[in-house]
Structure 1
Amino acid sequence: EQQEFLLRACVNWAAVRAPRSIVLPGGGRMSVRTFSLGRHWVPYRYDDDEVVPPLPDWLVRAARTGLDAAAAVDPRVGAGQGPADPAAYTPDTALVNLYGRGSTMGLHQDRDEAVPAPVVSISLGDACTFRFGTPEHRGRPYTDVRLESGDLVVFGGPSRMAFHGVPRVVDGTAPAWCREVLGSEPGRVNITVRQTRPPTLDG
């Protein structure tokens, strides 16, 4: 039920802010389509001059819950923002990436944020191969993990700047209810919740 709520929210956001294909500064075009909540992301910065849908409080609470659960497994992931004080995590942005048939994501770091707060990533729809490397470079060693709909990954602490990517989406593996929301070929939807700057004095 929570997954379906999230996916329907993505559909509603996309109706307000049409997903776009990103052209990188070097001229390459990302195969995923994306849109932002809270703050507008452009490679490789955040642009506050462009209006995007707000980041809802309920998604902030969900991200805090995810961070709290991950920090309970490994306290380093919270980088001081773990289960002792989950309210210290104050994300202000989310990027929603839409993976259609054949879409991939090359190995990269999430390094456009001004603070080292964790990134909380939620997967919906088709399963994917998620490649998780080291903070040092794009090459080996890395680990390939299959993420299913509903899986959550947290980048924090020593893994905050790890290179990561999606070399493959497994078509046709989305739960049946996804087809009711997105159609016959739902693809993969990924939501990454981020804190891009220090919290203001008023929270």
Structure 2
Amino acid sequence: MDAELFPRDRAQVAPGAVHVPDWLDEARQRELLAACREWARPPAGLRTVRTPGGGTMTARQVCLGWHWYPYGYARTATDGDRTPVKPFPTWLDALARRAVADALGPPADPLPAYDIALINFYDGDARMGMHRDADERSTAPVVSLSLGDTCVFRFGNTATRARPYTDVELRSGDLFVFGGPARLAHHGVPRVLQGTAPPQLGLAGRLNVTLRVSGLGPGEWPPAARIMGDSPS
């Protein structure tokens, strides 16, 4: 919006979870969008994620560094074209570290290198069910960046997918970081507000770029996820 009745201020949604509005300026949004469009091309490009129960996620996804599948990680697109996952660029690690420092403050101990990007594309009636990011061995904060259409982001608790939770409006350029006591909180996207993307961005739909630390060593092959019930949809 060009004019706000009430300015959008940064907010702590829960201990360890912070929303920073307008963190990416227009130029940086354009750069990140251009990169996402390149990453979405095959091989190991944008795909529909299928769950073991036979369902499909309505948001389509592409991965960098490690390929996420329900419910684990691999070095190839195991549930796609089976080609090697695209590399995770060092500039995304730098971006993630800056995001954590801006949202949560400088970490007491040095953060390990960020090495996973999950990029979800929401179009039409796509959504994301309540789930936890529990497939990583690292407890480093999760960094979430939004591009395009505004969404309702539901941030809950660590015990259950049900209440209590808080609904946050995430717009293009917004940053959301959750770590510490909020690292394993349930969260999801119950609604995307179609047609709300900034016209100058040239994007119909919503892109969410989620940056994580795997905690996996070089050449290590991760086991399946520990929490089989945490399936987004």
Range class of TM-score, shorter chain: 0.7 to 0.9
Check 1:151–1:199 CA distance in 2 against 1; reply closer, same or farther (3 A cut).
Answer: farther
Q: How far apart are residue 11 of structure 1 and its match?
A: 0.4
User: Aligned ranges for residues 49-60 of structure 1 at < 5 Å?
Assistant: 49-50=76-77, 51-60=84-93
CA contact (8 A) 1:64 1:89 kept: no
2: distance between equivalents of 1:83 and 1:114?
A: 18
Aligned-residue CA RMSD (Å): 1.4
Q: Please give the secondary structure, in 2, of the residue aligned with 1:15.
A: coil
CA contact (8 A) 1:69 1:83 kept: no
Give unmatched runs, 5+ long, in structure 1.
Answer: 73-81
* Identity among equivalent pairs (%): 50
The equivalent residue for 2:182 is: 159
The equivalent residue for 1:104 is: 127
The equivalent residue for 1:8 is: 34
Does 140-149 or 14-23 show the bigger shift?
Answer: 14-23
Q: How far apart are residue 66 of structure 1 and its match?
A: 0.3
19, 42, 48: which is aligned to 2:69?
Answer: 42
User: Aligned ranges for residues 127-166 of structure 1 at < 5 Å?
Assistant: 127-166=150-189
The equivalent residue for 1:79 is: none
Query: Going by fraction, where is helix more abundant, 1 or 2?
Result: 1
1: distance between equivalents of 2:66 and 2:216?
A: 14
Does 44-53 or 138-147 show the bigger shift?
Answer: 44-53
Q: How far apart are residue 178 of structure 1 and its match?
A: 2.2
2: distance between equivalents of 1:40 and 1:49?
A: 6
TM-score, normalized by length of structure 1? Answer: 0.87
CA contact (8 A) 2:153 2:189 kept: yes
Q: How far apart are residue 90 of structure 1 and its match?
A: 1.1
Aligned length: 185
Query: Going by fraction, where is strand more abundant, 1 or 2?
Result: 1
* Runs of 4 or more above 4 Å deviation: none
12, 16, 26: which is aligned to 2:53?
Answer: 26
2: distance between equivalents of 1:199 and 1:15?
A: 27
Q: Match of 1:36, as an amino acid?
A: C
2: distance between equivalents of 1:118 and 1:84?
A: 13
TM-score, normalized by length of structure 2? Answer: 0.76
Q: Match of 1:24, as an amino acid?
A: T
2: distance between equivalents of 1:53 and 1:196?
A: 15
Q: How far apart are residue 115 of structure 1 and its match?
A: 1.5
Q: Match of 2:145, as an amino acid?
A: I
CA contact (8 A) 2:150 2:169 kept: yes
Q: Please give the secondary structure, in 2, of the residue aligned with 1:7.
A: helix
